[in-house]
Structure 1
């Protein structure tokens, strides 16, 4: 019998207590099972994790923030020191290139996120203190006092991993324990990450259940877990169908659910831009769409292209680039099956296949696929053309004029991003403004003249958007300290004596924290002489 990997529960690695169904990871390049067996947890494991996290929550909320910051910094250091082994595991389990993708980009981004979270903890600005001296009221954002459940996606084994990614860093920064539900596509990577997290948390003196790891659970148990009232919040990145089911369970318990579900990230090529630099735009789009086999949440899956000679040339150029690109492995068999179904649905709706469609090669590969449809057909039934095809695939919509482009924009569901390319000479500016006005309420991030694939970890970032891009359009999953606010509670103190207030709400402000005091932003002590 294969040795089964242990779970991380209550500060120690232990064998699964029940539900001893096991699974293994798969090499996307070959489709072969690899690595050890991992447990699919049952109800006993889930209950132990919930109970331990619930017991740890008040202790972690009362922990000195400097210990939290030290943990986040030390965790980043540990990942950097173990980069070779981590990258090797993630490459084997996801098929993503070891270099530059994992070693040169994603792992450094992950470590940067952790360090930015540490800086946010030390700066205290995420607490956003507000003081009304006349009313005797003071408020700030504070820990939830409950655990956060994080579901990790399949496409970012480090930067969005449930035990190392942005959701994890933000929840820990707010001093909440994390129950990490790893993605079963990369269990060994998650196990190694969690090993570092557990050792560093113990060294930092954090409660034993600050970080816990479950590899997988049956869907029904996952719903029960998400719907447990002991949780303070749930964070999820993945498919719309799974996300909506989990959200329904969380909603029933009154638990905030922060889900990133799907996005087409529409790109509008205005006529002047296309005439001015069509070949360059074809290269930009092809590179963006095919990067990482198209498995980015900000992949440009819908491109609106003007009719006419310049548009025809753009389509022909892109078609040639797609056809000349060899199929690369997708993340899992599930991604391959979902992509095939999405492409079939688009074709059934009336989209015409230009190239790709499938690939009969080994492993989980799919040929880069390009489809097209006329604007009139799109507008006749826009919902059928807005199913996300997650992978190296995009739909080109041919529009007769700016009016049709605006009509298309007005039918779009909520998106993470919306991109507008304009001519440098200003000839597209009027159309740009009209399209931007239509897109602005439908996208989290409005982009000018560059593809949407990159998501910079910046305090000004919005990686979210109207439904179904996310379930909470007022929040971001990327960018600190803003991302921390998802996992906080707004707490007010009424007529509480100064000595009994949290430090950032007291009269003295020795750290110079900016506070909104009597309708002015100031770093001064209360009662200080101006």
Structure 2
């Protein structure tokens, strides 16, 4: 371990950009299209940085929890404005570090989504929507969601340099909206992008008058330090998006310390194509599947990893058309050498379990590229090896699962692990309706979001969105990582007040309701003061 050389970028701790202490090394970003290092050196922090960040966050947790909501909302809005104003710089940095296209992906889709969800969080703060006030005047009980008054540790993934970034994404916005300090652990795939976002956040934080240590960021630290930090009872919660192995290791450490860990782990997002719809428009569906599976080089958590296709002429035609699309496509750029190597191992697992490669299946150059790949397996083999054949292949890879009929498709649906999404395509003439209902009944408990007649890639930032699902897609089936105000409640505590005098109650639980907050009073949602709720306005 060593002190930081002057050439290595500083970390954001305790409200200041400062040199990393007890360095465990340093690293540079890579251009994945060429496989070469780019940009400045960033620190791999040691225990001194990790402990300093945690201590600083703990020291301001109570102050932040007591902040007026308007100050929190002002920060979120100001940060969103700063991101929009800095679009050219941010997009250039993210493009260089991820090879994701500037247009439309980064500039027109992901960056506006990022600033938009910050503004949605600000709106939820101003409206108190995330607190969900409930009042029982007969029992003398009042309850709402409130800050944890502890820091939240956020781990960002490699596949969204903006929208899920540890210093700007949905977990970050949710934790801050709930008035908790955030320690952001950036992803080493896009450190310069994260640094620029942190600079904008730091400026907005000071302008809003929030505690200086409310937002901190470390670029990287080793797995042992990550586990030690996750298992520190001074933390209030953890937000993680990434690999199943990494997320489960952090969750195990957090569980031992009683720290809630909200982890997004893996998902193959099964798609069921029913016989009628294949006969109706199978060729178009083959193109739709190919486009979804290779979008962003297949590096989406909602990538359609397994498509269930019935046997027969229409199913065979779909397979032939899809194979042609995959075979004609150029190799896709992956985020890193690590992603490439993991994809190679995943394909080896699928093949060893009985899947046959129809096209693709190999890495390519320059940089970190992989051929669009299509595999196939029959239902009987899948039912014998369901675990191995549900291995997530994070990249432009799809597995076609052939089934004999709708009854076997329902049996396959019951064999799936928990997933973020499950999709069914049915014919417009209603010929698939009975099969749809049967398969959907089996699939519904196994997915967070059930989708009809469109591919799963993409997640709308909406209050009605569930970007979550049963294990192993996430660690808890009752929460979403996207969509305000529900996402905010992951980083909140349910506080109940029993016969507490009104002056001692939080604002939204008092008799008078000057802000017009929607409250559940004696079973009715209304905006009235207590005493007037008999004429409630629903």
Classify the TM-score, shorter chain. Answer: over 0.9
Name the structure 1 match of 2:384.
Answer: 380
Name the structure 2 match of 1:303.
Answer: 307
Distance in 1 (CA, whole Å) between partners of 2:89 and 2:462 is 28
Give, in angstroms, the shift of residue 516 of structure 1.
1.2
Residues 28 and 329 of structure 1 are in contact (CA less than 8 Å); yes or no, is this contact kept in structure 2? yes
Q: Aligned pair 1:322/2:326, yes or no?
A: yes
Residues 423 and 451 of structure 2 are in contact (CA less than 8 Å); yes or no, is this contact kept in structure 1? yes
SS in 1 for 2:484: coil
Residues 332 and 396 of structure 2 are in contact (CA less than 8 Å); yes or no, is this contact kept in structure 1? no
Give, in angstroms, the shift of residue 328 of structure 1.
2.1
CA RMSD of aligned residues (A): 0.9
Name the structure 2 match of 1:67.
Answer: 71
What are the equivalent positions in structure 2 for 1:13-52 lying under 5 Å apart? Answer: 13-52=17-56
Question: Could you list the per-position Cα deviations for residues 243-265 of structure 1 after superposition, in whole angstroms to 9, with x for gaps in the alignment?
Answer: 10000000001011000000000
Where do 5+ consecutive residues of structure 1 fail to align? none
SS in 2 for 1:382: coil
Name the structure 1 match of 2:354.
Answer: 350
SS in 2 for 1:155: coil
SS in 1 for 2:364: coil
1:194 alignment partner, one of 192, 198, 213 = 198
Residues 331 and 364 of structure 2 are in contact (CA less than 8 Å); yes or no, is this contact kept in structure 1? no
Q: Aligned pair 1:470/2:474, yes or no?
A: yes
SS in 2 for 1:209: helix
Q: Aligned pair 1:165/2:190, yes or no?
A: no
1:127 alignment partner, one of 131, 152, 163 = 131
Residues 2 and 36 of structure 1 are in contact (CA less than 8 Å); yes or no, is this contact kept in structure 2? no
What are the equivalent positions in structure 2 for 1:248-327 lying under 5 Å apart? Answer: 248-327=252-331
Give, in angstroms, the shift of residue 2 of structure 1.
6.7
Distance in 1 (CA, whole Å) between partners of 2:484 and 2:405 is 40
Residues 300 and 451 of structure 1 are in contact (CA less than 8 Å); yes or no, is this contact kept in structure 2? yes
Give, in angstroms, the shift of residue 515 of structure 1.
1.1
Question: Could you list the per-position Cα deviations for residues 125-184 of structure 1 after superposition, in whole angstroms to 9, with x for gaps in the alignment?
Answer: 111111111222111000000010000000000000000000000111110110000001
Distance in 2 (CA, whole Å) between partners of 1:325 and 1:108 is 29
Distance in 2 (CA, whole Å) between partners of 1:360 and 1:81 is 37
2:531 alignment partner, one of 490, 511, 527 = 527
1:424 alignment partner, one of 414, 428, 446 = 428
Q: Aligned pair 1:340/2:344, yes or no?
A: yes
Residues 509 and 525 of structure 1 are in contact (CA less than 8 Å); yes or no, is this contact kept in structure 2? yes
Q: Aligned pair 1:481/2:474, yes or no?
A: no
Question: Could you list the per-position Cα deviations for residues 220-275 of structure 1 after superposition, in whole angstroms to 9, with x for gaps in the alignment?
Answer: 00000111111100000000000100000000010110000000000000000000
Name the structure 2 match of 1:87.
Answer: 91
Compute the TM-score of the two structures, normalised by the length of structure 2.
Answer: 0.98
Compute the TM-score of the two structures, normalised by the length of structure 1.
Answer: 0.99
Distance in 1 (CA, whole Å) between partners of 2:522 and 2:430 is 45
Structure 1 runs of 4+ aligned residues shifted over 4 Å read none
Residues 25 and 185 of structure 1 are in contact (CA less than 8 Å); yes or no, is this contact kept in structure 2? yes
- How many residues align structurally? 530
Residues 2 and 37 of structure 1 are in contact (CA less than 8 Å); yes or no, is this contact kept in structure 2? no
Q: Aligned pair 1:108/2:112, yes or no?
A: yes
Residues 126 and 481 of structure 1 are in contact (CA less than 8 Å); yes or no, is this contact kept in structure 2? yes
Where do 5+ consecutive residues of structure 2 fail to align? none
What are the equivalent positions in structure 2 for 1:367-446 lying under 5 Å apart? Answer: 367-446=371-450
Distance in 2 (CA, whole Å) between partners of 1:396 and 1:455 is 23
What are the equivalent positions in structure 2 for 1:505-516 lying under 5 Å apart? Answer: 505-516=509-520
SS in 2 for 1:326: coil
1:231 alignment partner, one of 229, 235, 252 = 235
